[in-house]
């Protein structure tokens, strides 16, 4: 009987030791060590530009790569009408304009996940100008947009006005993400890896009210007020980025018209070298007061409410000369690290993607196939010499308002890229004009969403939520089981 009790005691002690070891091992297992099927998350971003608004829907696995979601675009929707800044006199319409695209977006995400879909609206230069001119009107537009968004079953986060440098930097992120410059899937390793020789491209964005340039310069950025820093996929990046308000395409055209009218003093008929010959456009001088870019007083021009007719001359060289007057190049002196108005910029380096209005204007003239600079100049000059009857009959489906302005727009692009940013005959070949990479749109929206995914925690299943493994927890479990083991052994020995 004694032997049986001894064997029984030994068995009990052995079992307790085994359980203690198992408990210790289990207490040290981390949630990250458990392979779980990832769940799909969704996000929505409204791009509220100065001339239009678009909605983009993105999705990514909750199993994030180095704290940044691997995001793909699943839907885009163009909002009908102009940009939300145009509703300054009727703010409720700004919110109502978004409803059609919101309804389409809800159909693109499962109903069970909709209330968890983070939704953002980012306003760019149009709203920056409105805030500068009438801050209360800008606040009312934002409030109405937020009010509309909150009516929908989504996790509405914010409607905010992006700074120009944010817009530029997020566009840079979008381009390099889509081109696999940050991370790339390796079929051999069955995981996402950082490309060893990744080519980081620059971003050139031209909107209606502003333009942005963003790139990684050779060496360091000496003016750190112009630098933006990011951590993406476990790597740090520092880029130069600058935004020029009032140098977007639409604001440039207004400033050009005002300059031409100012030079003609009180005349009611003014020659416009960039407009096609035999084309005319009548504008009201009071329209210049609607934008901070043109409402400054000009001693040559009294902004009384009178009409002026702009008459096209189809003069390519005259157009280019008139556009160059919109820039203050003399403020840079002999400095090479300067664009205009005394703005610092390191020398451009590497390859660039030029999108938005850069792309649309050059696409119209079939200049997006990598033509050399000489061929680009020749094509633009020839287009500018064509009269209005020739153009309107050759492009019957093109909006007359846009058709009449391609000469001015393309000459403006040449001036901005060559005279301001200082691209030359050689570096021109490093600019690629495109609006998509694969099936995704190029712009700031995807970069904005990518950055925001760093703030959205990866999901864990319910049974592991709240489990915080640590050495302290392991120690507590081990001590408890050791005490239990010792007590059980003592009792058994006493019983024997």
Strand partners, 417: none
Active site residue 167: yes
Q: What angle do CA 281, 283, 284 make, to 5 degrees?
A: 165
Catalytic residue among 59, 166, 167, 251: 167
Which phi and psi (to 5°) does residue 314 adopt? 60, 45
> Alpha carbon of 160 to those of 104, 127, 131: distances in Å?
22, 9, 11
Q: How far is CA 474 from CA 58, 63, 84, 197, 407, in A?
A: 41, 27, 57, 43, 73
The number of CA neighbours under 13 Å toward the Cβ of 57 is 21
* Residues in contact with 394: Cβ distance below 8 Å, sequence separation at least 6, in sequence order: 386
Specify whether the CB–CB gap between 248 and 210 falls below 8 A: yes
* Residue 467 backbone class (left: φ over 0; alpha: ψ -120 to 50; beta: rest): beta
Helix (H) or strand (E) holding 121, with range, is strand 118-123
DSSP-derived pairing of the beta strands 307-312 and 269-272: parallel
Give CA 224 to chain center in angstroms: 21
State the Cα torsion 69-349-332-246 to the nearest 10°: -40
**How far apart are alpha carbons 309 and 262 in whole angstroms?**
13
Q: How many CB atoms lie within 10 A of CB 195?
A: 14
Residues 6+ apart with CB under 8 A from 140: 88, 91
Contact 200, 350 (CB under 8 A): yes
Residues belonging to the chain: 496
Q: Which residue has the tokens 């846009």?
A: 402
How far is residue 337's CA from residue 316's CA, in Å, rounded to a whole number? 29
Active site (catalytic) residues: 167
């Amino acid at each position: 009987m004694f032997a049986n009790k001894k064997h029984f005691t030994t068995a009990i002690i052995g079992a307790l030791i085994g359980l203690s070891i198992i408990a210790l091992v289990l207490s040290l297992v981390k949630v990250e060590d458990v392979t779980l099927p990832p769940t799909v998350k969704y996000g929505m971003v409204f791009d509220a530009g100065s001339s239009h608004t678009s909605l983009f829907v993105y999705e990514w696995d909750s199993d994030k790569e180095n704290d940044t979601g691997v995001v793909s675009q699943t839907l885009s929707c163009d909002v009908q009408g102009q940009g939300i800044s145009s509703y300054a006199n009727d703010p409720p319409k700004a919110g109502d304009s978004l409803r059609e695209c919101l309804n389409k977006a809800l159909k693109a995400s499962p109903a069970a996940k909709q209330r968890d879909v983070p939704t953002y609206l980012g306003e760019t230069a149009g709203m920056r100008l409105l805030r500068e001119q009438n801050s209360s009107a800008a606040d009312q537009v934002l409030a109405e947009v937020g009010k509309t968004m909150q009516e929908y079953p989504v996790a509405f986060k914010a409607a905010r006005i992006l700074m120009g440098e944010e817009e530029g930097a997020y566009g840079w992120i979008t381009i390099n993400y889509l081109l696999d410059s940050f991370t790339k899937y390796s079929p051999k390793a069955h995981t996402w890896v950082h490309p060893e020789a990744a080519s980081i491209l620059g971003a050139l964005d031209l909107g209606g009210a502003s333009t942005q340039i963003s790139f990684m310069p050779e060496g360091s950025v000496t003016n750190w007020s112009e630098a933006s820093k990011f951590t993406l996929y476990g790597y740090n990046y520092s880029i130069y980025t600058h935004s020029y308000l009032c140098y977007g395409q639409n604001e440039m055209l207004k400033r050009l018209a005002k300059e031409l009218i100012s030079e003609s003093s009180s005349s009611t008929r003014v020659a416009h070298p960039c407009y096609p010959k035999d084309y005319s456009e009548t504008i009201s001088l009071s329209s210049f007061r609607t934008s901070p870019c043109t409402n400054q007083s000009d001693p040559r021009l009294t902004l009384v409410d009178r009409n002026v007719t702009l008459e096209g001359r189809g003069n390519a060289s005259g157009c280019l000369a008139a556009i160059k007057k919109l820039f203050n190049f003399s403020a840079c002196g002999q400095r090479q690290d300067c664009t205009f108005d005394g703005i610092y910029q390191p020398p451009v380096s590497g390859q660039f993607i030029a999108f938005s209005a850069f792309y649309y204007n050059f696409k119209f003239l079939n200049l997006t196939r990598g033509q050399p600079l000489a061929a680009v100049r020749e094509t633009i000059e020839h287009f500018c010499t064509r009269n209005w009857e020739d153009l309107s009959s050759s492009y019957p489906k093109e909006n007359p308002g846009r058709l009449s302005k391609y000469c001015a727009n393309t000459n403006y692009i040449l001036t901005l890229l060559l005279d301001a940013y200082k691209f030359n005959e050689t570096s021109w070949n490093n600019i690629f004009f495109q609006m998509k990479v694969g099936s995704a749109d190029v712009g700031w929206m995807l970069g904005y969403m990518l950055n925001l995914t760093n703030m959205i925690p990866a999901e864990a299943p319910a049974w592991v939520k709240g489990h915080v493994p640590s050495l302290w927890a392991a120690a507590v479990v081990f001590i408890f089981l050791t005490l239990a083991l010792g007590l059980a052994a003592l009792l058994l020995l006493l019983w024997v």
